[in-house]
A and B are shown apart, each in its own frame.
Chain A
Amino acid sequence: QKEVEQNSGPLSVPEGAIASLNCTYSDRGSQSFFWYRQYSGKSPELIMFIYSNGDKEDGRFTAQLNKASQYVSLLIRDSQPSDSATYLCAVSPGGFKTIFGAGTRLFVKA
């Protein structure tokens, strides 16, 4: 079992729709969870981070964390073509390292 799992996609949604990206992790002791966006040929950039169970909203983005189910998700409302990218879920289990999922490719069709 991979430490951080994501559906590789591609996930295709029409412009204006809600995109839902999911991630599961194996280490129950993990405390910090991050979503990064990576455009083709570019480096990852942080979108959201979440530490507590529940939802955290920032503009069009909502991160959801359920530690009991070891599940974290990212919702993108009113998806735009510029949101087309690979989204990386990252988990910090402690020990001064961060584990990244393989990423989900998102395509937003105009």
Chain B
Amino acid sequence: KAGVTQTPRYLIKTRGQQVTLSCSPISGHRSVSWYQQTPGQGLQFLFEYFSETQRNKGNFPGRFSGRQFSNSRSEMNVSTLELGDSALYLCASSTTGTSGMDIQYFGAGTRLSVL
């Protein structure tokens, strides 16, 4: 069974640009969560999607957005990039994400560098 696939693996952008990251969950998994990981802040929850609906959102500005498609694949978008957005962005999928009882499996991540 294929794992969680994130593309691209690396991105270099400049301030003010926008970026779209993609995540394909494990087959059969319908819940996708996104996290930002930085050395100073650790893993920070961005949002969670299930059946194309965002069920929860972390404390990030509106520049961070996401969506999920009918095949459970998800994308996240960051607009008007800032230097502080440089981070490893991780996607995790689980079966249903119900009440947190599900185990999340992580993709390899997308490392974004903003210059």
Contacts and interface: CB of A to CB of B under 8 A. Distances in A.
B95 to A, nearest CB: 13
Interface in A10-44: 31-32, 34, 36, 42-44
A43 B90 contact: yes
Interface residues of B, number: 26
Given A43-B106, A46-B103, A49-B103, A101 B56 contact: no
Nearest to A42: B108
B109 interface: yes
B99 A43 contact: no
A45 B55 CA distance: 24
A97 B33 contact: yes
B64 interface: no
Interface in A43-81: 43-46, 49, 51
Interface in B43-100: 43-45, 48, 50, 55-56, 58, 90, 97-100
A43 B109 contact: yes
B2 interface: no
Task: Give the interface residue-count category, chain A.
Answer: 20 to 34
Most buried by B among A93, A96, A97, A102: A96
Contacts of B45: 97-100
B42 interface: yes
Contacts of B55: 95-96
Q: In this complex, which of A45, A97, A100 has the most chain B Cβ atoms within 10 angstroms of its Cβ?
A: A97
A16 B42 CA distance: 29
B99 A101 contact: no
A45 B43 CA distance: 13
A27 to B, nearest CB: 11
A96 B99 CA distance: 6
Interface of A: 31-32, 34, 36, 42-46, 49, 51, 88, 92-103
**A-B pairs with the 5 shortest C-beta distances?**
A92-B100, A102-B42, A100-B43, A96-B55, A43-B106
Given A34-B104, A92-B101, A97-B100, 5 more contacts: A31-B99, A44-B106, A46-B103, A88-B42, A94-B100
